[in-house]
Amino acid sequence: MTATTSPAPPGTEPGGLPDAERRTPRRRPRAQRVVERGASRVFRWTATGAGALILIVLAAVAVFLVLKAMPAMTASSDELVDGVSFMRGSSSLLDYVGPLVFGTVLAALLALLLAVPVSIAIALFISHYAPRRLAAGLGYVVDLLAAVPSVVFGLWGAIVLAPAVQPLWAWLGENLGWVPLFGGTVSPTGRVIATVAVVLAVMILPIITAVSREVFLQTPRLHEEAALALGATRWEMIRMTVLPFGRSGVVSAAMLGLGRALGETMAVLMIISQGFLYSFLLLAAGQQQTIAANIAAQFPEASDLGMSVLIATGLALFVITLVVNMSARAIVARRKDFSGAN
């Protein structure tokens, strides 16, 4: 809703207003402090506490990561290479974290690339094309998809999808091998990052679809009807009104999906043949690995210093996720006027 013009009814707490207006009511209760007592006061402090708690938890996680990663960050390269068995060919911590960050971002971006167009199409179908009853059912099914545990997606990816999709990868390698992405020896098992990306895409599909659908539904009716009245077809109407209106909402939906894809562990762990290279070969085995999956794989047999190295990679993931979320916020904030999501 374009809230800028709608005045809040007197006496009620106006929520979700732009900053300028939000600041005034915050000052007001302070002046009327006498009035606020009993349940109202309890509720106020409970809400404040809950709000503070999330910050405390976030800070605690950050502190934990930094503290535990310290030994690895301060250790000399020799200590690391001698003391941590899984650091193989790496010569320093950065040398070890780098390829993992690369693999994580690559897998997540590929997943996003696959998921976003499909999600937008599903969301548009639900919001503007499907008959109402079908739309409700379909929306429900999409939400259900979000409830499938990632281990199940991992099992499905490793046992069903990887062998099934391998012939397609082989065909790509054979016919489009000159494209750098599809070069190298195509894995005969299908346990490659391309398969991982497909599974991740399926996993982030529900969240992107759900948010996009909500945004599309909030397109002002007048805009849509105006477009139709000017003689636009339904597709033109969507292109002229729904998509521009929902753009920033879709972006933030995509960022939410990206966040989930970045941190996904089990599905990646169960599917990928890991490698530690800066490699764009999507169909070759043993090229990339993601941070989360690597932590899960190496954690059980890690020594003290090894644990610290793993936590340092976790810290890197934490930072990446934070940056992604903040940039999503920034994008949404910049286009606030049109945002249906916020």
Partner 1 sequence: MKLSLHGRVGAVALVGALALSLAACGSDDPLDTAASGAPGAGETTSGETSTLSGELDGAGASSQEKAMDAWRAGFQTSNPDVTVNYDPVGSSGGRQQFIDGGVDWAGSDSALKPEEIEAAAARCEAIDIPVYISPIAITFNLEGVTELKLAPATVAKIFRGDITSWDDAAIKADNPDVELPALTITPVHRADGSGTTKNFTDYLNKAAGDVWTDEGADDWPIQGGESGTGTSGLVQAVQAAQGTIGYADESAVPAELGKVSVKVGDAFVAPSAESAAAALAASPRDEERGEHDIAVKVDRTTTAAGAYPVILVSYAVACLTYDDQETADLVKGLLGYVVSEEGQAAAQTAAGSAPLPAELAADAKAAVDAISVG
Q: Of 191, 204, 283, 313, which one interacts with partner 1 (CB under 8 A)?
A: 191
Q: Of 14, 163, 177, 244, which one interacts with partner 1 (CB under 8 A)?
A: 163
Q: Of 177, 286, 335, 342, which one interacts with partner 1 (CB under 8 A)?
A: 286
> Binding of partner 1 at residue 190 (CB under 8 A)?
yes
Count of residues near partner 1 by CB under 8 A: 32
DSSP 182: G
CA–CA dist 257, 111 (Å, integer): 9
> Binding of partner 1 at residue 166 (CB under 8 A)?
yes
In Å, what is the CA distance from 144 to each residue of 97, 138, 141, 150?
A: 35, 10, 5, 13
> Binding of partner 1 at residue 298 (CB under 8 A)?
yes
Residues 150 and 265: beta-carbon distance below 8 Å: yes
Q: Please, which of residues 300-329 interact with partner 1 by CB under 8 A? A: 300-304
> Binding of partner 1 at residue 277 (CB under 8 A)?
yes
For residues 111 to 150, the per-residue mask of contacts with partner 1, x marking binding by CB under 8 A and - elsewhere, is ----------------------------------------
CA–CA dist 57, 70 (Å, integer): 20
Work out the angle between the directed axes of helices 193-217 and 93-124 (0-180°, nearest 10): 50
Residues 122 and 209: beta-carbon distance below 8 Å: yes
Query: Considering only 31-39, 145-153, 184-192, 321-329, which stretch makes contact with partner 1 by CB under 8 A?
Result: 184-192
Q: Residue 307 in 3-state DSSP?
A: helix
Q: Of 285, 309, 311, 312, which one interacts with partner 1 (CB under 8 A)?
A: 285
Q: Which two tokens stand for residue 195?
A: 């398969």
HSE-up (13 A, CA, CB side) for residue 245? 22
> Binding of partner 1 at residue 156 (CB under 8 A)?
no
Q: Which two tokens stand for residue 140?
A: 């429900």
Place of tokens 């548009």: 124
> Binding of partner 1 at residue 288 (CB under 8 A)?
no
Which lies closer to partner 1 via its Cβ, residue 244 or residue 275? 275
Positions in the binding site for partner 1 (CB under 8 A):
85-86, 88-89, 158-159, 162-163, 166, 187-191, 269-270, 273-277, 285-287, 296-298, 300-304
